[in-house]
Amino acid sequence: MTNREDALIEKILRLKEQRNAIILAHNYQLGEVQDIADFVGDSLELSQKAAKIDVDVIVFCGVHFMAETAFILSPDKTVLLPDMHAGCPMADMITAEQLREKKTELPKAVVVCYINSSAEVKAESDICCTSANAVPIIEKLSHVEEIIFVPDQYLGHYVSTKVGRRLNLWPGFCPTHVKIMPEDILRLKQRYPEAKVIVHPECRPEVTSLADEVLSTGGMCRYAAQSAAKEMIIGTEKGIIHRLRKENPDKSFIPASERAVCPNMKLINLEKILWTLEEMEHQVKVPEEIRIKAKSAVDRMLEVV
């Protein structure tokens, strides 16, 4: 640890105590952020945590929709996002207005929205899902004739092939995960023939079809710990490699692509965490009318898993 980190960490920990705060971090955060967090996880684990913890302040080290989900579930807490520009381009690929239009076209359809969406889009949806539970959630809807799935076409495509049913897919995608190409996987498989290939369902179908396992980031962490495999090619945002190596020092993790870096996830650092706790900025809030509707879509998801 450097002197810079030591000094910042000391101040953050003191202020965190004074504010009765908890630091939640997503698996893609910078190593220095993951290391200071009270809890590191995937979108599902982080929302479950936000729904349960008893603190006054949540410092959310992730992107905007994640902090928003924490507020939707825990409106009595102050939810802080250390950088307001940390958004998710995929979540911005659909607006509530566009979803309302789609619902008018297919009035009988049930709307399933990926948690990577705005509170307004969640409020227009029937049920939410994350990459960890999208398959069981769609399976639960076997009695439903038509499903609109927003905004990630690739997660939707993956679920649709797993469950064996057609979904109305919105053409959204993650600009970071589409950078992982099938050629990257094929090249690394040749170089590391013993390695297992683990990818995120936000990857292109040509990539998921080459994988041994398609998992959420939390699922990847569990798989890495339990698997007998000693080498793994990891097809997701590179930040997760920090946690995988830290928790499994005897195993080797190879990023599928050096280009798979989410610039939004990297906006948060120790300086910004300290600033957010000092100034109690930026607070993430959702208007009550939207929050209540969005919460029922998130609650329905949490009931299933």
Q: For 265, which DSSP code? A: G
Element (H or E) spanning 140, and its range?
helix 134-140
Site string for ligand 13P, 145-174 (x = CB under 6 A): -----------------------------x
HSE, side-chain direction, 13 A CA sphere, residue 290: 12
| Shortest separation between residue 116's beta carbon and ligand 13P, angstroms | 5
Looking at residue 126, its amino acid is D
Looking at residue 94, its amino acid is I
| Dihedral pair phi/psi, residue 198, rounded to 5° | -120, 125
Q: Is 69 in the site for ligand 13P (CB under 6 A)?
A: no
| Shortest separation between residue 62's beta carbon and ligand 13P, angstroms | 8
- Which one of 119, 202, 207, 284 is in contact with ligand 13P (CB under 6 A)? 202
Structure tokens at 107: 């009035």
Give which of ligand SF4, ligand 13P, none residue 216 binds (C-beta under 5 to 8 Å, depending on kind): ligand 13P
* In contact, 233 and 195? CB cutoff 8 Å: yes
Count of residues of this chain found to bind ligand SF4 when the rule CB under 6 A is applied: 14
Residues with Cβ within 8 Å of residue 231, at least 6 apart in sequence: 192, 194, 195, 196, 251, 252, 253, 254
Give which of ligand SF4, ligand 13P, none residue 263 binds (C-beta under 5 to 8 Å, depending on kind): none
- Which one of 29, 34, 47, 116 is in contact with ligand SF4 (CB under 6 A)? 116
When the beta carbons of 30 and 55 are compared against ligand SF4, the nearer one is 30
* In contact, 78 and 272? CB cutoff 8 Å: no
Q: Is 174 in the site for ligand SF4 (CB under 6 A)?
A: yes
- Which one of 24, 57, 90, 119 is in contact with ligand SF4 (CB under 6 A)? 90
Chain residues that interact with ligand SF4, rule: CB under 6 A: 63, 88-90, 116, 174-177, 202, 237, 262, 264-265
